[in-house]
């Protein structure tokens, strides 16, 4: 069977390979020589270059979006797969399992209240006017960050749930002179004005904020942070972690940004969760970088200009879509083609909002090792000890 491997070779190049059907990542497979292997994303296989050089030996398991999944030889019974990739498989499986149907509300202090019943069978939100493109449970990883006093919380920035205890956001969203430090996190929010009556919403107090090495609040670089919650989130169809995009090379797919339209600059927050698609094809991303270099010349906050190693430029299509429709701290993401799950590629950082100038996003893949050490420390130590 012929497949197009667009990640590592020319799109126009066809390779002859054996396809064993759509097998899940980390499942067993059989190589052409009869040996056992494991299905992994192509760049996660230590021998992917050797297999591509002799394509008669290449066995594909399927695809995740446009990323080929290949049968990788076992090396000492260990195939390198990052902790975040393993966790991704767990979270994706939640979309096909029964999930938790009993919803538990949390006060802002993290104290659990009595269960309030089960999730409704329908995804429709009857009280919402038409014209909104996002469905109620379309983005179960989306988080809303709160500031100020408990009696009058200001909900401003966004974030992404990436585990039961951690939310990924922009570092600049964690504190400011006007709002003070971030204190609260809400999950399962769709309509901001219905948070108090929505039994699916879970609210938490921020336990701790983690910053990456090199972060300085006065600069636009390393604009990423991990918010540790004071309690464990209850996972269900409306609250579920997203996956992390781990490859340095950007996916050749359409990005989407989501949020309630708020930034730390004080713009009014939209009530309903919004989404917009951004251009992410490889050739257009490079054009965006060229435009970014003109639009974002060195400044006091960006003294060395844009850094392509840990910053992404993305722009809307001819409609002018941009993070005017997304939150600071919210995700730049791609969707798995076969399920309701997302990979976080970037974090909304800064830009000239609501214009045709590309926005700038923190590149998540650059920070995956740091994220894994904070979010899954025990698993990271065990994984490192085995290598």
Q: What average pLDDT does this structure show over 56-85?
A: 76
DSSP 8-state secondary structure symbol assigned to residue 148 = S
Q: What average pLDDT is seen over the chain?
A: 74
Q: Check whether residue 243 and residue 341 sit in a common domain.
A: yes
Q: Check whether residue 153 and residue 233 sit in a common domain.
A: yes
Task: Give the rounded percent of residues in the chain with a pLDDT score beyond 90.
Answer: 30
Q: Check whether residue 147 and residue 36 sit in a common domain.
A: no
Take residue 158 and report the two structure tokens written for it.
């966004």
Give dist(CA 336, CA 267) in Å, integer: 32
Tens-digit pLDDT profile for residues 144-180:
999 999 989 999 899 999 999 999 999 999 998 888 9
Residue 87 lies in a domain: no
- pLDDT above 60 (res 229): yes
Q: Is 328 a catalytic residue?
A: yes
Q: Check whether residue 146 and residue 74 sit in a common domain.
A: no
pLDDT at position 107: 38
More confident residue, 355 or 363: 363
CATH of residue 213: 2.40.10.120
Q: Is 48 a catalytic residue?
A: no
Q: Check whether residue 11 and residue 154 sit in a common domain.
A: no
- pLDDT above 90 (res 279): no
206: confidence class by pLDDT, cuts 50, 70, 90 = very high
Take residue 156 and report the two structure tokens written for it.
């401003």
Q: Is 223 a catalytic residue?
A: yes
Q: Check whether residue 174 and residue 64 sit in a common domain.
A: no
- pLDDT above 60 (res 2): no
| Contact (Cβ atoms closer than 8 angstroms) between residue 75 and residue 46 | yes
pLDDT at position 176: 83
Q: Which of 9-23, 210-224, 272-286, 299-313 has the highest mean pLDDT?
A: 210-224
Residue 48 lies in a domain: yes
From the list 172, 222, 236, 310, the catalytic residue is: 172
Report the phi/psi class of residue 60: left, alpha or beta, with left for phi > 0 and alpha for psi in -120 to 50: beta
Residue 381 lies in a domain: no
- pLDDT above 60 (res 101): no
pLDDT at position 221: 96
Last residue of some domain: 79, 107, 130? Answer: 79
Q: Check whether residue 286 and residue 149 sit in a common domain.
A: yes
Residue 200 lies in a domain: yes
Domain coverage including residue 294? 142-373
pLDDT at position 209: 99
Q: Which of 14-28, 128-142, 334-348 has the highest mean pLDDT?
A: 334-348
Q: Check whether residue 71 and residue 147 sit in a common domain.
A: no
pLDDT at position 383: 55
From the list 163, 328, 349, 365, the catalytic residue is: 328
Q: Check whether residue 60 and residue 158 sit in a common domain.
A: no
CA neighbor of 99 nearest in space, from 219, 173, 188: 188
Domain count, the chain: 2
From the list 44, 160, 223, 365, the catalytic residue is: 223
Residue 315 lies in a domain: yes
Residue 51 lies in a domain: yes
Q: What are phi and psi of 88, to 5 degrees?
A: -60, -40
């Amino acid at each position: 069977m012929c497949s197009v491997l667009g990640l590592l070779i020319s799109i126009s190049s066809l390779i002859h390979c054996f396809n064993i059907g759509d097998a899940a990542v980390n499942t067993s497979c059989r190589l052409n020589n009869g040996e056992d292997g494991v299905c992994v994303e192509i760049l996660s296989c230590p021998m992917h270059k050797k297999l591509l050089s002799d394509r008669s030996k290449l066995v594909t398991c399927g695809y995740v979006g446009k990323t080929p999944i290949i049968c990788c030889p076992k090396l000492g019974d260990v195939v390198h797969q990052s902790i975040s990739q393993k966790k991704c498989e767990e979270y994706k499986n939640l979309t096909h399992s029964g999930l938790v149907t009993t919803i538990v509300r949390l006060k802002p202090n993290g104290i659990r209240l009595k269960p309030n019943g089960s999730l409704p069978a329908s995804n429709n939100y009857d009280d919402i006017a038409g014209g909104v493109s996002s469905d109620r449970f379309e983005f179960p990883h989306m988080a809303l960050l709160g500031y100020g006093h408990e009696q009058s919380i200001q909900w401003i920035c966004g974030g992404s749930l990436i585990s039961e205890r951690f939310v990924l956001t922009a570092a600049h969203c964690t504190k400011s002179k006007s709002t003070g430090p971030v204190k609260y996190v809400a999950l399962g929010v769709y309509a901001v004005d219905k948070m108090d009556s929505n039994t699916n919403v879970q609210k938490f107090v921020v336990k701790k904020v983690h910053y990456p090495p090199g972060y300085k609040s006065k600069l636009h670089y390393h604009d990423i942070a991990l918010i540790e919650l004071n309690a464990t989130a209850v996972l269900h169809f409306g609250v579920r972690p997203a996956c992390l995009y781990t490859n340095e090379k950007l996916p050749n797919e359409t990005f989407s940004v989501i949020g309630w339209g708020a930034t730390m600059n004080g713009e009014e927050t939209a009530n309903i969760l919004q989404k917009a698609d951004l251009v992410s094809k490889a050739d257009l991303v490079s054009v965006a970088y060229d435009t970014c270099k003109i639009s974002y010349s060195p400044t006091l906050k960006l003294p060395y200009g844009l850094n392509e190693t840990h910053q992404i430029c993305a722009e809307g299509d001819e409609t002018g879509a941009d993070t005017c429709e997304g939150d600071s701290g919210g995700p730049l993401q791609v969707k798995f083609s076969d399920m309701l799950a997302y990979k976080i590629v970037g974090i909304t950082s800064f830009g000239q909002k609501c214009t045709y100038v590309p926005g700038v996003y923190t590149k998540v893949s650059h920070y995956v090792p740091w994220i894994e050490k904070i979010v899954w420390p025990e698993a990271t130590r065990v994984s490192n000890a085995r290598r």
